[in-house]
Chain A
Amino acid sequence: MNFDLSDEQKMLAEQARGLLAERVPFDRLRKLIDANAEWDEPLWRELGEMGFLGANIPEEFGGLGLSELDLAMISQELGRVNAAVPFASSLVLAADAIRLAGSDVQKAEWLPRLATGEVVGCFAYAEGPGDLLGRGVRQEGAKLNGTKTPVADAGVATLAVVQAGEALALVRLDQPGVARTRLDSFDQLRPHYRLDFADADAELLPRGGQIETLFDRAVVQAAFEAVGAAEACLTMARDYAMERQMFGRPLAGYQAIKHKLADVAVAVEMARSNAFYAGWAAGDASGELPGAAAAARLTAITAFEMAARENLQVHGGIGYTFEANCHFYYRRERTLAIALGNREHWAERLIAHTPGSQTKAA
C-alpha cells in the first residue's frame, strides 16, 4: 500500500506553490479588491502559458491529460493563496462538463481553447435562494430562456455550461440573447453574476445523466482548495501567535491557543486524508466516488471553517483590519462552503451512499 502522493505530484504542487507564492502576495489581492477587478488576468495568462490550465483536459484536445490527483495539486495551491482566477469555474466545472457530456465536435471546438486559457468557461446552476439546482431555466429547441443567479466568474467567461433541468447546455455569453449583471459578491476575489437568457442560442451537451458525477468530481477539487486554504490559515495563526507577545510571553505559549490550533491541525489532516481518498476514487474507483466525495466535502469544510474563523480570532483586533490577511480566507471559506452544495446537501449524499443504508434520500 502507498497512501501518499507520488513524487511527481509533490513536485507539481511545489512548482505551483513556488509560482503562486511569488505572483500572489497578499498586497496583490488588496490591489485587485481596490480596483474592483474581475480577476487576476496576468496570473491567468501565466498559468495558461505554463500548461496548468490544460491539466485535466485530455491530450487529444490539447491538454496534459493528468489525473484527478494531479489536478488537485493545482487546486490546493490556488486555495492556499486565494488566487483570483476562474480555475474551478472554467476547468473543474465547464471543461469537465464538456468532457463528460459533450459530443466529439463540442470537445474539439472548446477543450483546446479552455486548455490554453484563451477561452474562459463558467458553470451556471443556481436560480436564486433555495435549491442547489434551478428549475426554471429550460432549453427549447436551440433556444434557452430564464435566469441563473448567482454565477461565479461569468464576467470574464465567454462560454457557460448551463444546467437546464436534467440537461446541460452550452451557451456563448457574447450574444444578444444573454444579459450579464455583475452582483455585489461576498467574496471580493470571486465576482458573481446574474445571467438572463432571452431566446439565447444554446446547444445541448448530448450525453445526459452527468450532473451528479460532475458535482462529485468538482467537490473533490474544492476539498483540495479548502485544504490548501485551511493550511494557510493555520500557518498564519501559528506564526502570528509565535510572534505576538502577551503578558510577557508569546501568545503561542498559552494553552487556550495551543489547543485551539491543535484542533485545527487535526481537522486539516483529517480533511487532507479524505481528500486524498476522494481524489484517488475520482480517478481509479468511480463506484467509491459519491461517498468519498461527500465525506471529503464535509471534512474539508469543517477544517476550513475552523481554520478561517480561529485564524482571525487568534489575530484579535488586527484581524478585523483590511491590512491584515485573515479576511481573504474568511470570505473565501463561505464561498467554498456554499458553492456546489451546502453541508446538508452533502450529508444527505453521504448517508445515501453508505453501505447497508436503505435510505436513498439524495
Chain B
Amino acid sequence: MDFNESPEEAAFRTAAKAWLAANAPQHELPEGVMLDDTEEVMLGRAWQRAVYDGGYAGITLPTALGGRGGTGIEALIFAEEEARYNLPKGPYIGIGLGMALPVIGKHGTPEQIAAYADRTLKGELTWCQLFSEPSAGSDLANLRTKAVRAGDDWIVNGQKVWSSWAHRSDMGILVVRTDPSVPKHKGLTFFVVDMTSPGIDIRPIRQISGASDFNETFFSDVRIPDANRIGAVGEGWACCMTVLMGERLNQGGERGGIENLIAYAEATPRGAGTALDSGSVRMALAQALAEEQAGKSFQARLRTMVSRGENPGALAAMVKLAFARRYQQTSGLALELRGMDALAPPAGDARTREIQHDYIWSTVIRIAGGADEVLKNQIAERVLGMPGEVRMDKNVPFEQLK
C-alpha cells in the first residue's frame, strides 16, 4: 500500500499543473459575483477552448474522436488539479464531453462523429440531456415521448423533464419511443437534436431551492432529420446505458465536509462554551467524520482499480449512496445544533445560508444519478448476487402496459 503515483502519473500531474498555472488564472470566475446563465456559458466555452488547445480536452475519449486517448486516472488527476481554480465548468460542458461524445463515439456513424466531436471538444457546442419524463425517472424505459417516421425526418411529440441547462444548450441528446408495439426497452431510439428546432418549448422549473437550473422541455411536432439518429432504430436503450455508465463514473465532487461542520459547531455558542462541548453533538459529528474518511479511502481503492484498468462496477454506487445520506443527515444536524438562528440567520451569515442550501440540495443528490433505492438494488444484485426484482413489464408490449 502506498500513496505515491506511478512515474507516468506523476509526470502527467506535473505537466497538467504547469499548464493550468499558465492558463487557468485568466479564466477564473470572479469571487462572489453572480453571473447570469448566458455569461457563464460564454466563459465556459472559452475555458473549454483553452483546454482543447492545451491538449487536455476529452482525456479518456479515443483519439479517433479527437480526444486524448488517455487513462481514467489521468482524467482524475486533471480534474483534481483543475479544481484548484474557480473555473466555469458546468453541465453545459460536462454533458457534451461525458455523455454525448461517448454515445456518439460508440453508436454513431463517422459522419456524426465528424459533425459533433471536434466542435464539442472545442466548447463550440453545448449539450443537454433529454431523458427523464414525468412518468419515467428511475424507470426510464417507461418514457412516452414518441417519434414517428415521416420521409427523411422523424416527428417528435412529448415532454422531457429535469433537463439541466436546456435553455442555454445548442444540442440535446434525446431518447424517444419509436415502437410502442414491442416491450418497453426495445421500442426506443436515440437522437441528437438541435435545440433551436421549431416546436421545442423550454420552460424553467421553479425548484424548492428557489433556483431554476432544471427545465421542462416540450416537443410539439418537432422535426428531427433521420441523419441525427444515433444507432439503429430500436437501439435507444443500449445508447442510454452507454450514457449512464459515464454518469456514474463522473460522480466525484463532494460538498459539505464534516470538518467544516465541526468548526461550525465550535463557532456556535452554547452556555459558557460552544455547541461542540455537547457530547451528543461530538458523537454524531465524529461518526459522520469517520464515515466521510471511509468514503475518501474507499474512493482511493476504486481509483486504484481504475488505474489498473479494472471497472469498479456497482461498487461505485456505494460512494454516492453513502455520501448522499450523510450529506442530508449532517446538514440537517448542523442546522439543529445552531438553534433558532438557523431558521432565519442575519444577513451577513453566509455559512448558515450555505448549510441551508446543502440541506435542500441533498434531496437532489439522493435522487439524481440513481436514487438510493435503485442503487441498493444494484448493490444487492451485482455485488451480493441476489435476485432481480419481480417485474410486471417484462415481455409485455409497451402499449399494453398500464
Contact = CB atoms under 8 A, between A and B. Distances in A.
Contacts of B5: 1
Contacts of A297: 290
Interface string B305-327: 10100000001001001100000
Contacts of A242: 385-387
A259 B373 contact: yes
Contacts of A259: 373, 376-377, 380
> B262, B287, B322, B380 — which one has the most chain A CB atoms within 10 A of its CB?
B380
A359 B285 CA distance: 13
A250 B283 contact: no
Interface string B274-305: 00110100110111011101110110110111
A347 interface: yes
Nearest to A348: B282
Nearest to A263: B376
A234 B385 CA distance: 12
Nearest to A264: B384
Given A255-B377, A277-B297, A356 B259 contact: yes
B384 A354 contact: no
Given A265-B384, A270-B294, A351 B262 contact: yes
Interface string A1-22: 1111110000000000000000
B304 A294 contact: no
B290 A295 contact: yes
A355 B315 contact: no
Contacts of A276: 1, 297, 301
A357 B380 CA distance: 38
Interface residues of B, number: 51
The size bracket of the interface on A is: 35 or more
B376 A350 contact: no
B282 A1 contact: no
Contacts of A234: 384
A147 interface: no
Contacts of B388: 253
B3 A270 contact: no
Given A259-B380, A277-B293, A343-B283, A354 B262 contact: yes
B64 interface: no
B42 interface: no
Contacts of B322: 266, 270
A358 B273 CA distance: 12
Given A1-B300, A238-B386, A277-B297, 11 more contacts: A4-B301, A253-B386, A265-B318, A266-B322, A270-B291, A270-B295, A270-B318, A273-B298, A294-B290, A347-B282, A356-B262
Interface of A: 1-6, 69, 234, 238, 241-242, 249-250, 252-253, 255, 257-259, 261-263, 265-266, 269-271, 273-274, 276-277, 279-280, 291-292, 294-299, 302, 343-344, 346-348, 350-351, 354-359, 361
21 contacts: A1-B307, A2-B4, A3-B1, A234-B384, A249-B390, A262-B380, A265-B318, A265-B383, A266-B321, A269-B298, A270-B298, A270-B318, A274-B293, A277-B293, A294-B286, A298-B286, A299-B291, A350-B290, A351-B276, A351-B286, A359-B277
